Amino acid sequence: MYEAHFGLKELPFTITPDTSFFFSRSSHQDALNTLLVAARSGEGFIKVIGEVGTGKTLLCRKFLAALDPKEFLTAYIPNPYLDPMGLLLAIADEFRIRYPQYVSQHQLLKLLNRFLLEAYAQRKRVVVCLDESQAMPLDTLESLRLLSNLETERRKLMQVVLFGQPELNLRLAQPAIRQLTQRIAFSCELLPLTLDETEYYIAYRLQVAGSRHPRVFAHDAARRLFKASRGIPRLVNILAHKSLLAAFGEGAHKVAEKHVRLAVVDTESIRVTPAFKDQLVNYLTALLIGLLIVAGVFVWGGWL
């Protein structure tokens, strides 16, 4: 595509969660540090909250990659929208636990308990990461709590990390699962990038992709990109990629503000921002009021 034109070895702004592009100058590094400390402390549940596109899946993969396989056994469940039995089966499959074809929930819990005790005897910690946890049914969340009850006198046999959108907080606030909420020992939140972080983020990804140029994106281009993306990494990636395409199409070796404007126009999820929606609602409301006034004048004039 445009890699050779900008002196790149690979595309720098893909939206797939590639851990080699993990950016450490943001709340993501703070969250990663918290996860690593919590994993070694062996305390109950851990919660990570972040809006859509803030990099929860990337953080999850970076966290799992940072755990020493000699010390940790890990499982990753990308879609926990499962009933209690389905979740237990998914966890068992991740740990390669053999079970009968028509296994009951009671039998599966016994097999999982045996696996956890064997891991403890080998001085290994067990960590289960659940992505998109806001989609988990309440009864599945409750079954997860019951599974986490397996413990020795010193520590839990299994730790659970819940990655989810802010809606997860609403689910955890429900009285039916308050016992689970009380067991969340660590909690962190992924925030959008600031303007300075966005500029560093763009430069960092370009550097990882092989760029040797100190500033491919002009400062005003980066500022426009930040304003349009609101600092959400996924949107930054989409806009930066399209901006590079626009510059490449013109034969330019530096991305200017006009290239970012073209990228914004071409991106539907950017054009319809909350601020734009508010402006549109206000405009339509004023227009409707104006039309009603005009209609009233005509009706009043006709009556006279």
| Domains in the chain, number | 2
Q: Are residues 176 and 60 in the same domain?
A: yes
Q: How many CB atoms lie within 10 A of CB 200?
A: 17
Task: Please indicate, yes or no, if residue 19 is contained in any of the structural domains.
Answer: no
Sheet holding 45-50, edge to edge: 72-77, 125-130, 159-164, 45-50, 184-190
Would you give the distance in Å from CA 45 to the centre of its chain? 18
- pTM for this model (two decimals): 0.84
CA torsion, ordered 19, 25, 27, 30, to nearest 10 deg: 80
Examine the domain organization and report whether 78 and 161 are in the same domain.
yes
Paired tokens of 146:
């019951």
CATH of residue 114? 3.40.50.300
Tell whether 137 and 167 lie within a shared domain: yes
- Domain extent at residue 105: 27-190
Verify that 37 and 150 share a domain, yes or no.
yes
Domain co-membership, 198 together with 173: no
Q: What is the pLDDT along the chain (304 residues), one digit of tens a residue?
A: 899 999 999 999 999 999 999 998 778 999 999 999 999 887 779 999 999 999 999 999 999 999 999 999 999 999 888 999 999 999 999 999 999 989 999 899 999 999 999 999 999 999 999 999 999 999 998 888 877 777 665 678 899 999 999 999 999 999 888 888 888 989 999 999 999 999 999 999 999 999 988 789 999 999 999 999 999 999 999 999 999 999 999 999 999 999 999 999 988 777 544 544 454 345 446 555 655 665 554 555 555 5
CA pair distance 35, 39, nearest whole angstrom: 6
**Residue 142 maps to a domain:** yes
List, in sequence order, the alpha helices (H) in the chain.
3-6, 27-41, 56-66, 84-94, 105-121, 138-147, 167-172, 178-181, 195-208, 219-229, 233-250, 257-265, 268-271, 274-303
Domain membership of residue 55 (yes or no) is yes
| Chain-centre distance for alpha carbon 159 | 20
| C-alpha–C-alpha distance, residues 116 and 90, integer Å | 15
